[in-house]
Amino acid sequence: MSTPSLPASDRALRLREALIAAAFTADGLLERLGAPAYAALARSETVPALRATRGDSPLDTLVRLFLLQRPVQASAAAVALPLEECVQDGWAVREGDLVRAAVDVRPYGGPEGQDWFIVSDLGCAVGGAGGIGSHEEGVVLGVGGASTTLAGITVRRPVASALDLGTGSGIQALHAAQHAIRVTATDVNPRALEFTRLTLALSGAAPAELLEGSLFEPVGTRTYDLIVSNPPFVISPGARLTYRDGGMGGDDLCRTLVQQAGDRLNEDGYAQFLANWQHVEGEEWQDRVRSWVPAGCDAWIVQREVQDITQYAELWLRDSGDHRTDPAVYTQRYEAWLDEFEARRTKAVGFGWITLRRSAAAAAGHPSVVAEEWPHAVEQPLGPAVEAHFARQDYLREHDDAALLAAHFTLSEEVVQEQVGVPGAEDPEHVVLRQHRGMRRATKVDAVGAGFAGVCDGSLPAGRILDAIAQLMAEDPVLLRDRTPQSIRLLVEEGFIEPVRDGAPPS
């Protein structure tokens, strides 16, 4: 499998202009294919898209060529593209009267409506024409659910330097290029670096520094304001496939990545990863992953999914196409996965997000490390919610109970109250506060909590509100003040109420 030659910057621009002129964009595809055919592509079903592109427009040609990876007539390709340049530069291959794509080019909509294009190996765009399966060693995948998830949870503030570790086809580097002055992208696979170069060029983004090597070895002791990584986190018996298997035992690759990230972060810098971790007999998964957090860093660890070892093995055996091989070979490989898990006393595998932030408080020995399970739906992009989480942790570290009672709070805008109980009953059995943005959390509160949250408009300190509630409920105000700060902390930590700072609640 050969790597496509790199286009010159002016020729990449002309190809980009041709793609956009034909509406070969995320919005253009949705309009041309229609929602059902567009959704079918995400399931690796191409028939509806083929039926929708039976015309001879430039967009029909480009969809069939790059998205569905079907041969098209050279005469039609010449109308849609600067064909000779594309052939010379390695984007396409001419075979007589037909033209075939040499790489997968997939439209991708940026967060502010930018028209971007992710370049990867043929048949390797997740949910694409070829689907995932039977990949050769060293192939480079395109956009998938994991990569878009990481892009969505990443904190997007302006920074001087960003590192995309294990860049693949370059989607994280492309996002980082929008808010970082300097972007470095690394990968153990040199093909991935070439595809990242193509992705950036075709998307009209600034070029990145591209370095070959494993983990942090290519960057030495350099430090960054932002580190992102969608690493080869699959826990497997061996390292057959570079794009997914890290080559270390168990979850050692993810552990090493997290542990080493602390020394590569600038003050107040973020490192954000997707990861798998083992659920080991006799050990809480939270304790296992907390132990990875490096000194000097706060952390927020969110477990999104758990699979037992049979589900996990079957998922990744299907990913590599092993379920289509000889049954005896499939059985042998399945056994190898189960042997690996048995040897490590692993009963399940967790998947989730790990965010580190280097902070002065953590360096002083007061880190905030939150490990939680949240399998429910969230609202992407989640980057602002991630940043707000750490801001709230800072606030709670800086305020003891007395300071909380003297503070002013407002109810977060997206929070609603739900009353749960038997229809017709005079009083609800319990009250639920629910968020409709960000993490979309819900928490059950008692009458005091519901009353407190309901009157938090920033005008009165928390202690005064509690005194009024005590009077209404005929409770001892001193006892109420003593037992309520922990509940206030929980409401602040989970974002149901926001502290008023400098006369105004945080945005």
Question: pLDDT for 155-167, tens place per residue?
Answer: 999 999 999 999 9
What's the CA gap between 389 and 214, in Å, rounded?
31
Cβ–Cβ under 8 Å, residues 209 and 184: yes
Q: Which helix (H) or strand (E) holds 353?
A: strand 346-358
Strand order in the sheet with 159-165: 209-212, 180-187, 159-165, 224-229, 265-280, 346-358, 297-308, 369-373
What pLDDT was estimated at residue 321?
A: 83
Token pair, residue 65, equals 């060529």
What pLDDT was estimated at residue 506?
A: 46
What's the CA gap between 487 and 445, in Å, rounded?
9
Q: Which of 451, 458, 459 is nearest to 487 (CA)?
A: 451
Task: Give 414-478 as a DSSP string.
Answer: TEEEEEES-TT-SS-SEEEEEESSTT--EEEE-HHHHHHHHT-EEEEEHHHHHHHHHHHHT--HH
Cβ–Cβ under 8 Å, residues 287 and 358: no
Helices (H) and strands (E) in the chain, counts: 21, 19
Low-confidence ranges of the chain (pLDDT < 50): 1-4, 6, 126-134, 505-507
Q: What is the pLDDT of residues 200-252, one digit of tens each?
A: 999 999 999 999 999 999 999 999 999 999 999 999 998 777 778 877 889 99
Token pair, residue 315, equals 């998922």
What's the CA gap between 462 and 499, in Å, rounded?
10
Q: What is the DSSP letter of 233?
A: B
Amino acid at 479: L
Please state, as a whole number, how many other Cβ atoms lie within 10 Å of the Cβ of residue 267. 12
- Sort strands 98-101 and 72-73 into parallel, antiparallel or unpaired: antiparallel
What pLDDT was estimated at residue 151?
A: 98
End-to-end CA distance of the chain: 50
What pLDDT was estimated at residue 44?
A: 80
3-state secondary structure of 45: coil
What's the CA gap between 460 and 371, in Å, rounded?
33
What is the phi-psi region of residue 123: left when phi exceeds 0, alpha when psi lies from -120 to 50, beta otherwise? left
What pLDDT was estimated at residue 128?
A: 41
What's the CA gap between 81 and 492, in Å, rounded?
55
How much helix, strand and coil, in percent to the nearest 5, is found in the chain?
Answer: 40, 25, 35
Q: Is the dihedral of CA 163, 168, 169, 175 positive or negative?
A: negative
What's the CA gap between 449 and 461, in Å, rounded?
15
Instruction: Please enumerate in sequence order all residues whose Cβ is within 8 A of that of 28, keeping only pairs 6 or more positions apart, or say none.
Output: 22, 59, 107
What's the CA gap between 289 and 353, in Å, rounded?
11
What pLDDT was estimated at residue 125?
A: 59
